[in-house]
Structure 1
Amino acid sequence: MRRFGDAKVAAVFKAYPPAVRTRLLALRELVFDVAAATPGVGRLAETLKWGQASYLTAESGSGTTVRIDRPKGRDDGYAVYFHCQSGLVETFRTIYPETFTYEGKRALLFGTKGRAPVRALRHCLALALTHHVRKKSGRAT
């Protein structure tokens, strides 16, 4: 497991119920892995935004912020949040209409039971982490 550089972020993870914490820690690792494997993304900055663990492409500016958390009031699920005006969730819905559970224009939702569709999720994270670069070049996916 990757070490936390920010004690406040670590405290947020520690406060989650165990099943949610396990899934969110795995999701956190996936975000870092996708960033490392995606050309042009560079090192991520991990911080809190709105009390949620947030991952920014601070080094390259290549993408939009990716946030992870549990949906409010739920102890049986977790989510990946994206800027609602980015159009990313609409893109994901077009590419993966049956793969994810969506929350409006801002999130992919998961339950603590069952398996997350990792291959598709990796693709979505890579699209988010390169969103600004693709937007400037006119490429959607």
Structure 2
Amino acid sequence: MDMIKNPRVAAVFDRYPIPIRTRLFVLRQLILDTASEMEGIAPLEETLKWGEPSYVPPSGSTIRIHWKPSSPHQYAMYFNCNTKLVGTFRELFSDTFNFEGNRAIVFAEHDHIPVDRLKQCIASSLAYEARKHLPLLGL
């Protein structure tokens, strides 16, 4: 697993409950791995947006991951709500993921993560500027 270089991001991860932190580290690694497999996407900037770990591509749409105490057994991957990302994911993967509005894929604490499909969603976000004109974002 890649080490968190930004101390502010590391501090946020340290505040998550351990079982959730472990699951969020899985999401983080999927984001980093997906970016490293894509031409012109890595390295991502790992920073905080709205106090949440965020992954910013050089050209594309930021992905955030987070847990909220108000939903202690859930965590989520957030996408820009002003894009057609989550709407497209819902159209293609409604049998696979749970969604929150037009902004997030939500996971229960013990959900199995369908890695291949989630990586498709991640790649679509990281390359959004190049894919936004394609039908179903090229998925």
Aligned to 2:12: 12
Is 2:53 the partner of 1:53?
yes
Residues 24 and 78 in structure 1, CA contact (< 8 A), matched pair in contact too? yes
Determine the C-alpha separation between the residues in 2 that align with 1:56 and 1:95: 24
Q: What is the Cα-based RMSD across aligned positions, in Å?
A: 1.1
**TM-score normalised by L of structure 1:** 0.92
AA aligned to 1:30 is L
**TM-score normalised by L of structure 2:** 0.93
Gaps of 5+ in 1: none
Is 2:139 the partner of 1:111?
no
Residues 100 and 108 in structure 1, CA contact (< 8 A), matched pair in contact too? yes
Give the superposition deviation at 1:114: 2.9
Query: Which residue, 120, 124, 138 being the options, matches 2:121?
Result: 124
Identity of matched residues, %: 41
Please say which of residues 39-48 and 81-90 is displaced more in the overlay: 39-48
Residues 82 and 106 in structure 1, CA contact (< 8 A), matched pair in contact too? yes
Give the superposition deviation at 1:42: 2.4
Give the superposition deviation at 1:117: 1.3
Task: Work out the number of aligned pairs and report it.
Answer: 136
- 1:13-92 matches, within 5 Å, as 13-58=13-58, 61=59, 63-71=60-68, 73-92=70-89
